[in-house]
Structure 1
């Protein structure tokens, strides 16, 4: 396999833009910025230090504008992505298992089939997102998984349900990593975690809103010819389809094509992202095997992705089994009441999902918040294992949600911050989310029927995963600091001597001037 020598139309347009559009920068931010922003010129020195400095007020205005135009659209899309995935938990309470005659582990099998396709298509989907352009790719896959949700309303046996869930996994595979990669085109390293949290917070909000929406839908007598749980899939799928069609018109692919930015703002948006990429002479690079492997096999990518795998055992387990857990706590309540009891823990989880990444933005640190978050999850599962009192166990779900949900933003921001090129970033984020979804697959077998109602196996497993996250996060932080000290002793000039521009860029995180960003 060799580096692909032709470009996508997305990259061709970016090449043209970078060659022609920086004439405005010299008058606004100085000649050095103009030179650094041009294609073919690096925006850092060989030690990774930026060679230009930007007007902080201009950056703040640009950042707010991007926040308002980009984040709401992707957040809404991800909200219904997660609802379309997790509403099967609400449907279970409303008779999904009974009507489809599912027995024993059949429900777990239906959940698992989703993750098989979800995992397989994770990295290919993110490569396709880069190739096609996220402004087109993300609405397209959203449209398709909305259609899959509608189709679920018409299944009548385990085989049909499994087939639709497999297709759902294919189309949802590119959503979380695709949006993370998309936002990395717009934001600096320190800014990214908080912006990721603004869409990833839709996961716990989907748990809350999904419970409210499901309970509201179940109050309807029928929706066309559909009744009970079938209405949940149909109505929520139709909403997803509508939002996706609107997103085709509103989602801007990248700064260069943003009609809502002035030319000066477009130039600043591109130049400031480029200024953090040591040795990079372009923002959107060619697909390259070396850079792809650098993204996948970065030590920080692999370690963080394994942490995300362990965390997802908890996050996805909550999504699928929170209604079931609540049912064991409040067995005499009505189905609607049980649905509503799943809402408050997600609201609390959503708060911490945004809080920790916000602090990450302010301190430009990510790994330390892994270390802070993990003990919260550990405490919650200790409470589950130590008590059978309904209020204690219900309280534990609040603490677990507080610790678990922030990892989605923090892990994706961490792997993004610790590679250089656009290609490596796409591959690293895809790898992180792929590994995370292996954890999701494990979660589908963590709460088994014979273990009800106290679920000692599932709760014990999650205590083990959160404890391992805590230890691994500490080890990773110390390793990054030690390796950075070792890099300080390397002779950058001699190591880069004799290398051409492509060879220097292909080094990515192996570049001697690169430093890990914990």
Structure 2
């Protein structure tokens, strides 16, 4: 039996064994206070966390790397002659991008509920295989209409992956651990831009792959690799700690107990889907275009040179994502780093709007990368940290990601060739968006601080009167002992 270590905040006599706290129907936090009834040895917890890091994160990161490569390779294909070969003109390229985002946005929330129902450990490998398949099928399209249809199917498949990965990790990591772990795979978004540019430039140096030339080679290679990753992932990622064969019984109990300890009054780590929990999650308070932007900054550069010039901003974005994620993990803060990141984006878009000098605009791409890429990790970590149940986290993350990708849909029609080189509609839209990120992030942070203080003064204490243990568990964020994590 794992020996519980008495927490200074826990009264003697109320401490329970870790195995007991892990049992469904038992709580690991007092129903009327944020104090745990079991305290985990930090050495054992750190060892378990490292095991998760080594066993889970590499596969998740690899899936997201190719998820983003398969999404963003359309920009590299455009530089390699996609539009000419498919006789595209006018708004056709924007429509092609929009077909992906329309499906991606529309299917994110439904597929997140499928992730919850079936289990992300099963659905994520399946969806990974299919988005690799649809990327591979782009090799064979001969018409613009066929390309739109395939990109729409790709959007459906990818729609369940990004929110699904965040939801999946929330089953293994505690609130304050999750942000950095999300950053460890979301860093693959800028890395996908860098690696995708390098990979595309390398592929394009070949004359052909069988009968396939130019942009078709990009989809052929990247699609095949992604399908292989999906097949491998099926055998590597367990659905939750309880089903991880590489954990000992004691480690499984520890994993369950520590997640319960994060959520006041909850009796189960993985709950059944319920309308109330879904509603609670929903109501809880530039990669595609960068190669094109680089081409407008350096109009005389060749295709491979443009691909390579797009790499450094992505590298900067990757470094910033990991650094801010790590600092968030160590300081147990999320809102702070979102608020700090927004001004970098604002400055970058102001530079885009103010100048058409190539060096100024290239510097602007670094400023945007400094601020933008870390937002995906922080938005999902913040949403997950303030969702009290497994179902609420699935719904909350699905909602956040779906709304976020509405921006991608709008961007398809705000960065048009006729607006270059200054790109006023798109850059103005993004300046407004980054300003809103600053205002809303600071506002949410301030509101959560105010709510926590009100709860500490006893404003919601009456809600526990006459309640059973199950009714207390159903209170979620209304529980007077609940504290918002910011």
TM-score (structure 2 length as normaliser)? 0.96
* 2:26 counterpart residue number: 41
Q: CA RMSD in A?
A: 1.4
Unaligned runs of 5+ in 2: 7-14
Residue correspondences, number: 477
Structure with more of its chain in helix, by fraction? 1
Which of 449, 455, 467 matches 1:499? 467
The answer on 1:121 being equivalent to 2:98 is: no
Unaligned runs of 5+ in 1: 1-23, 300-317
* 1:379 counterpart residue number: 347
Separation of aligned partners in 1, 2:69 and 2:34 = 42
* 2:411 counterpart residue number: 443
Alpha-carbon deviations, 1:420-447, whole Å to 9, x = none? 1111011101111111111111111221
Separation of aligned partners in 1, 2:309 and 2:461 = 61
The answer on 1:140 being equivalent to 2:126 is: yes
Separation of aligned partners in 2, 1:470 and 1:493 = 33
The answer on 1:423 being equivalent to 2:360 is: no
Alpha-carbon deviations, 1:264-289, whole Å to 9, x = none? 11111111111111110111111111
Separation of aligned partners in 1, 2:287 and 2:139 = 20
Alpha-carbon deviations, 1:163-183, whole Å to 9, x = none? 101111111001111110110
Q: Are 1:95 and 1:229, in contact at CA under 8 Å, matched by a contact in 2?
A: yes
TM-score (structure 1 length as normaliser)? 0.90
Separation of aligned partners in 1, 2:187 and 2:4 = 40
* 1:57 counterpart residue number: 43
The answer on 1:156 being equivalent to 2:111 is: no
Which of 477, 482, 485 matches 1:509? 477
Q: CA deviation at 1:470?
A: 1.0
* 2:253 counterpart residue number: 267
* 2:314 counterpart residue number: 346
Q: Are 1:26 and 1:34, in contact at CA under 8 Å, matched by a contact in 2?
A: no
* 1:482 counterpart residue number: 450
Separation of aligned partners in 2, 1:488 and 1:33 = 28
Cα separation, partners in 2 of 1:492 and 1:385, compared to 1, 3 Å = closer
Separation of aligned partners in 1, 2:471 and 2:281 = 16
Cα separation, partners in 2 of 1:154 and 1:486, compared to 1, 3 Å = same
* 1:171 counterpart residue number: 157
Which of 260, 278, 285 matches 1:292? 278
Q: CA deviation at 1:28?
A: 8.7
* 2:372 counterpart residue number: 404
Q: Are 1:490 and 1:512, in contact at CA under 8 Å, matched by a contact in 2?
A: yes
* 2:209 counterpart residue number: 223
SS of 1:40's partner is coil
Worse-matched range after superposition: 48-57 or 169-178: 48-57
Worse-matched range after superposition: 261-270 or 194-203: 261-270
Separation of aligned partners in 2, 1:268 and 1:327 = 52
Q: CA deviation at 1:492?
A: 5.3
